Amino acid sequence: MKITKVWAVYFSPTGNTKKVITTMAKKAAEVLSVPMETFDFTLPENREGVTSFESEDLVFFSTPVYAGRIPNKMLPYVQSAFEGNGAFAVPVSVFGNRNFDNGLIELRNELELHGFHTIAAAGIPTEHVFSNKLATGRPDADDLAKIAEFGEKVAKKVADMTEIPAKIEVRGDDPVTAYYTPLGTDGKPAVFLKAKPKTDPEKCTKCGICATVCPMGSIPKDAPDTCTGICIKCHACIKACPAGAKYFDDEAFLSHVEMLKQNYQRRAEAEWFI
Ligand SMILES: Cc1cc2nc3c(=O)[nH]c(=O)nc-3n(C[C@H](O)[C@H](O)[C@H](O)COP(=O)(O)O)c2cc1C
């Protein structure tokens, strides 16, 4: 099949998804000797209108997994703002060392529903934003080499293809089932939906960087020590704050993080579907 452009399309509040998908797409573009473009829908101002692709596009499309699925606040956008028009696509779920559960099959299904032909897919472990004890420093050099190698395999697959294949088979429940229920150290559901980041007044300089990185636009520029809108717990503000002023103190949330540290420190492996 003829490909004239490779795309890296992603939602990535703290940068892991961006690193994974641009590494993969860059390699594919290099192998196919075509240009690569990126479309980053992390910030609200980028999520306006519909993005259309063409039948000679190869689109690497990735979101992090939140509670075993596509982040639920992004789902309506993913379901309404992309038109494949016959483009080839590679859904990629990036997860924080626990499991991608149904995040990948959900993304595969959404892309297929919206005019893309999925030809490969992957579930890739990266450091969990909740704790640097989970998949510490990943993707590491070994991961990045494997991610690029997969980009190369996808490029070769699409170049050799003579007809449109059936959708790529991936691990997951179809139809997709409920979101993963986060648990606390007591094994009971940890309810922290309403938790919001706190700001240490001693440390905050009101520089406003946090307001510029919040994917929900929930931190006002003129009052960056507050969070007035929805918080999806993505940790963009916490990771971006140069003063280390942002933190969560919600007990249920901290108990969930502790549970993850107790149970998910083994090295999770990537899963490749091609
Ligand atoms: C609200 C929330 C829920 C998450 N749920 C899961 C999960 O169910 N399984 C998992 O392995 N990682 C989970 N993670 C970890 C992220 O998928 C992981 O840290 C990812 O690298 C974040 O991507 P980013 O750096 O592009 O923002 C979750 C993270 C957040 C913020």
Q: What is the DSSP string of 206-222?
A: ---HHHHH-TT--S-TT
Protein residue with least CA distance to atom 5, ligand 1: 66
Pairing, β 198-199 against β 121-125: unpaired
Check whether residue 24 and residue 139 sit in a common domain: yes
Q: How far is the CA of 155 from the centre of ligand 1 (A)?
A: 28
Answer yes or no: pTM beyond 0.90. Answer: yes
Q: State the sign of the Cα–Cα–Cα–Cα dihedral 150, 155, 158, 159.
A: negative
Check whether residue 13 and residue 142 sit in a common domain: yes
Given the CA of residue 67, which atom of ligand 1 is nearest to it?
8
Q: How far is the CA of 221 from the centre of ligand 1 (A)?
A: 26
126 in contact with ligand 1, CB cutoff 6 A: yes
Q: State the sign of the Cα–Cα–Cα–Cα dihedral 260, 261, 262, 268.
A: positive
Q: How far is the CA of 265 from the centre of ligand 1 (A)?
A: 14
Protein residue with least CA distance to atom 28, ligand 1: 66
Cα dihedral value 161, 166, 168, 173, nearest 10:
180
Q: What is the mean pLDDT of residues 173-199?
A: 97
pLDDT tens-digit readout, 99-113:
999 999 999 999 999
Check whether residue 205 and residue 78 sit in a common domain: no
Q: State the sign of the Cα–Cα–Cα–Cα dihedral 248, 252, 258, 263.
A: negative
Check whether residue 34 and residue 94 sit in a common domain: yes
ipTM: 0.99
Protein residue with least CA distance to atom 31, ligand 1: 234
Looking at residue 207, which CATH number applies to its domain?
3.30.70.20
What's the Cα-to-Cα distance from 205 to each of 48, 99, 242, 262, rounded to whole Å?
A: 31, 37, 9, 35
Given this model, what pLDDT does residue 18 score? 98
233 in contact with ligand 1, CB cutoff 6 A: yes
